[in-house]
Structure 1
């Protein structure tokens, strides 16, 4: 993947995911973003054992959401996942949840780190660890 690549996955809202008001329960929006993040890792090459063999794993440190429009049973949404690296031990994985017609339903911003599974601490260079594990990162 390159900086210009944008990853997205399609999900259909199911009846059992609704709250008492008949729209998608707030916690399910976070689950949809998690699906997109996991599928991004798989798409980027993380579906193999590269990270596990390196003794590392991505960890969610923070997740914030802005609800824009309600989603109801039967709606189909595209959930994007855009990855941004900066300096330091963390990076961002941001998701937009959009109805098929393009209507923005939610914006989710996540802070991610890569944990050294032996030391149980974040690695200093998450991008480098992901690249060494064989992931194509932006």
Structure 2
């Protein structure tokens, strides 16, 4: 469905809507909503994240928001598996739909050193994030991704 959204929907309007949806969920979780990773919630968040991730590259927040009150190791393990598996599925769907070309491959190559740096820093930083910083980081990254997606869509 995400590859179909990429092919059929206006990119900017869809991106702004996705970013707005993520921000609404984030704000709701700050005010009163306390999402839990139950089986039905995970099915909905996984489906939404898969579609949104394929169509707009911001697929992590639906699942991350469900796990925001869990321990650091559980959040990291769950998101690592989800994003790896989901990323592979998204790439396959986009490639099958003819949506991946050399500009996307080269853009990905430019980001590889930053991914490697993040991986190298993740070990030493994990002890700090596992204390009281995990939830604020999850919320900040989800919100930051949403704001950047909205900004990119509008400008």
TM-score normalized by the length of structure 2: 0.23
- Give 1 or 2: higher strand fraction: 1
- Give 1 or 2: higher helix fraction: 2
TM-score normalized by the length of structure 1: 0.25
